[in-house]
Amino acid sequence: MAKRVLVKYSGEALAGESGFGIESKILDYLASEIKTLVENKIEVGIVIGGGNFVRGVSASKGGLIRRTSGDHMGMLATVINGVAMQEALEYYGIDVRVQSALEIKEVCESYINRRAIRHLEKGRVVIFVAGTGNPFFTTDTAATLRAIEIEAEMIIKATKVDGVYDKDPAKFSDAVMLEKISYEQALQDNIKVMDDTSIALAKDNSLPIVVCNMLREGNLLKVIQGDSCAVCSKVFN
Ligand code: UDP
């Protein structure tokens, strides 16, 4: 069983059906799933995206807002989500720290690798926000980066689908879910479970990526425990 993991949620994961903002029912559910991991002595880092509020690419589309500023807005959106997740986890009695790649010291700690590791060792969940702190990156890349930095054994990309498919399951009814796929194949076949930068970073550092459905109750724990009933796809060599 993995001892330390990094879970990546997209911002949209928090939004529910509407795709915008934060739905407290979903937040509550996600926090309860993380609680199960903590109860099983798993050290958990979390990265949350910000797509439920702003994405730099969309914000800068009309030309009024520069992409760099749009990305700053997107990174700040991840802070909103991280603070919300912190509250939900604390509601369940879990010790949590939020660490930001951009300094916002009135709201949360700044990212300090050694401090993050110390929190994890003490059984605290650490939520990493503001992505990498740099425009033109994504929170998938931030998640991979942080996973490597905290020496997590895997990155779990928690999605609304069960895993990686050979084609888009929303478009093709005969799409087949792949249990395992190599980094090279994921890059070559342009399988968009994570962006290319994050897959390449995981590949270079031999970090396994596990794609699973966050909406299947108890699945996250099964994935980490290596339970044969776990529903997921693994990207590794
Ligand atoms: N972002 C960024 N640098 C980073 C991470 C994120 O500039 O290192 C910005 C970017 O604009 C991105 C937005 O933050 O679109 C929200 O992140 P992302 O799109 O990855 O969120 P998700 O799709 O996971 O909700």
CA distances from residue 59 to 20, 67, 102, 128, 171 in whole angstroms, order as listed? 14, 8, 20, 23, 28
Tell me which of 55, 65, 149, 159 to substitute to probe ligand 1's pocket, judged by most ligand atoms within 8 Å of the beta carbon. Answer: 55
Distance CA 62, CA 122 (A): 46
pTM: 0.97
Q: Specify the CATH number for the domain of residue 194.
A: 3.40.1160.10
Confidence of residue 54 (pLDDT cuts 50, 70, 90): very high
pLDDT at 31 over 90: yes
- Ligand 1 proximity of 142 Cβ (cutoff 6 Å): yes
| Beta carbons of 211 and 164 less than 8 angstroms apart | yes
Ligand 1 nearest atom to the CA of residue 8, by list position:
24
- Ligand 1 proximity of 135 Cβ (cutoff 6 Å): yes
Burial 65-80 (b: 16+ CB within 10 A, else e): beeeebbbbbbbbbbb
Which range, of 105-109, 111-115, 173-177, averages the lowest pLDDT?
173-177
Kindly state the DSSP code that residue 22 receives in the 8-state scheme.
-
Domain total in the chain = 1
Burial of 127 (C-beta count, 10 Å sphere; 0-12/13-18/19+): buried
The confidence score (pLDDT) of residue 94 equals 98
Helices H, strands E: what count in the chain? 9, 11
**Token pair for 60:** 């800068």
| Beta carbons of 126 and 120 less than 8 angstroms apart | yes
Q: Is 55 annotated as a binding residue?
A: yes
The confidence score (pLDDT) of residue 1 equals 86
The chain-wide mean pLDDT, for the chain, equals: 96
Question: What's the mean pLDDT in 69-74?
Answer: 98
Q: Is 20 annotated as a binding residue?
A: no
Tell me which of 78, 102, 141, 156 to substitute to probe ligand 1's pocket, judged by most ligand atoms within 8 Å of the beta carbon. Answer: 78
Q: Where are the beta strands (DSSP E) in 2-134?
A: 4-9, 43-48, 96-100, 109-110, 125-129
The confidence score (pLDDT) of residue 212 equals 96
| Domain region containing 191 | 4-235
Higher-confidence residue of 161 and 64: namely 64
Give me the residues paired with residue 128 across strands: 47, 99
Question: What's the mean pLDDT in 60-79?
Answer: 98
Q: Is 21 annotated as a binding residue?
A: no
pLDDT tens-digit map of 88-97: 999 999 999 9
Ligand 1 nearest atom to the CA of residue 139, by list position:
20
pLDDT tens-digit map of 123-162: 999 999 999 999 999 999 999 999 999 999 999 999 989 9
Tell me which of 52, 85, 111, 139 to substitute to probe ligand 1's pocket, judged by most ligand atoms within 8 Å of the beta carbon. Answer: 139
Confidence of residue 33 (pLDDT cuts 50, 70, 90): very high
The alpha-carbon radius of gyration of the chain (Å, integer) is: 17
